[in-house]
C-alpha cells in the first residue's frame, strides 16, 4: 500500500510539474472554460436573474467540457514518445499510475472550479448560500470526473480516433455527475429548493466507485 501511494505521488508530481511548465491549463483550458460561461450568457440572451437560475447547470457543463481537455492532455503526456511503454516496463502497479494521474487531473479541475465559481459570481451574479456544500460538491464531483476521465482516457488511447472518441465515451458516463452536482449546486447557490446534501451523497458514491473501478481496471486498459 505504501509503495502504491509513493508511486502515485511520483506520477502526480510529474504530471503537475509538466503542467506548471507547459501552462496548458492556465493558458488554454481555463480561458476556454471561462469563454464557455460567456458564450452561454450570449446564447441565452438573458438578464442576470435568468442566468443566476441556470448558473449551476451552466457551471457544470463548463466544467465537463474543460475536463475533456484536461483528460486528453493528461492522456497525451503518456502517448507522446511512448512514455506509456516506459511506465509499463517500470514495473509500477497500474493502479499507482491511475491514482497518480487522476490526482493530478483532480487538482487541475479544482483550480478550474475556483475560476469558474468566480466566473458565475461575476458574470451571472450568483450568490453562495451554503459555502460548505458548494466546496464539498465541487471536490467530490472533481474526484468523480477525474477518476472516470482518467479511466476512459486510457481506454480511448488504446483505440483509434481517440481525440474524437473520448467525449462520446465519457460524457454519457458523467451524466449522473452533471445531474447530481447541478442539483447540489442549486441548493448551495439557493437557486432551487432541493436537498443538496442528498445529491452530494450520490456524488460521493459515484466518486468512490469510479476510483475503485479505475484502480482495478486501468491495468487492463493500458495492457490491451
Partner 1 sequence: MVELRGAVALLGNFPALAGIDLSIDATEIVLIQGPNGAGKTTLLQLCAGLLRPAGGDVVVLGHDLARERRAVRRQVALLGHSTCLYGDLTAAENITFWAKAAGLTGTDVHSRFASAAELMGLDQRLLARTVNVLSAGQRRRTSIAALAVRRPELWLLDEPHAGLDQAGRDAVDSIITDAVGAGATVLVSSHELDRVRSLSPRVVTIAAGMVVADSVHNSHTTRGSGEPGGAPNA
Residues forming contacts to partner 1 in the complex (CB under 8 A) are 3, 7, 10, 14, 17-18, 21-22, 77, 80-83, 85-92
Beta carbon of residue 88, minimum distance to partner 1 (angstroms, whole number): 7
15 in Cβ contact with 74 (< 8 Å)? yes
Residue closer to partner 1 by CB (options 25, 177) is 25
Residue closer to partner 1 by CB (options 94, 119) is 94
71 in Cβ contact with 149 (< 8 Å)? yes
Alpha-carbon gap, residue 129 to 142, rounded angstroms: 21
Other Cβ atoms closer than 10 A to 126: 25
Residue closer to partner 1 by CB (options 47, 81) is 81
Beta carbon of residue 133, minimum distance to partner 1 (angstroms, whole number): 37
Residue closer to partner 1 by CB (options 18, 205) is 18
Beta carbon of residue 95, minimum distance to partner 1 (angstroms, whole number): 12
Q: SS3 sequence, 84-126?
A: HHHHHHHCCCHHHHHHHHHHHHHHHHHHHHHHHHHHHHHHHCC
Beta carbon of residue 8, minimum distance to partner 1 (angstroms, whole number): 11
Amino acid at each position: 500500500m505504501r509503495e502504491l501511494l509513493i508511486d502515485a505521488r511520483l506520477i502526480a508530481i510529474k504530471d503537475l510539474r509538466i503542467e506548471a511548465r507547459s501552462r496548458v491549463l492556465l493558458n488554454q483550458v481555463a480561458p476556454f472554460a471561462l469563454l464557455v460561461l460567456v458564450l452561454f450568457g450570449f446564447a441565452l440572451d438573458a438578464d442576470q436573474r435568468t442566468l443566476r437560475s441556470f448558473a449551476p447547470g451552466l457551471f457544470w457543463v463548463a466544467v465537463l467540457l474543460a475536463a475533456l481537455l484536461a483528460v486528453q492532455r493528461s492522456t497525451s503526456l503518456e502517448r507522446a514518445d511512448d512514455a506509456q511503454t516506459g511506465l509499463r516496463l517500470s514495473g509500477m502497479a497500474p493502479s499507482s499510475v491511475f491514482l497518480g494521474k487522476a490526482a493530478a487531473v483532480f487538482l487541475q479541475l479544482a483550480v478550474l472550479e475556483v475560476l469558474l465559481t468566480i466566473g458565475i459570481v461575476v458574470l451571472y451574479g450568483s450568490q453562495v448560500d451554503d459555502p460548505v456544500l458548494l466546496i464539498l460538491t465541487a471536490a467530490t464531483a472533481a474526484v468523480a470526473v477525474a477518476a472516470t476521465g482518467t479511466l476512459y482516457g486510457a481506454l480511448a488511447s488504446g483505440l483509434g480516433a481517440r481525440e474524437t472518441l473520448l467525449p462520446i465515451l465519457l460524457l454519457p458516463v458523467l451524466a449522473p455527475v452533471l445531474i447530481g452536482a447541478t442539483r447540489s449546486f442549486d441548493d448551495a447557490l439557493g437557486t432551487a429548493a432541493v436537498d443538496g446534501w442528498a445529491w452530494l451523497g450520490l456524488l460521493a458514491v459515484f466518486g468512490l466507485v469510479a476510483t475503485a473501478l479505475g484502480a482495478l481496471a486501468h491495468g487492463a486498459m493500458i495492457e490491451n
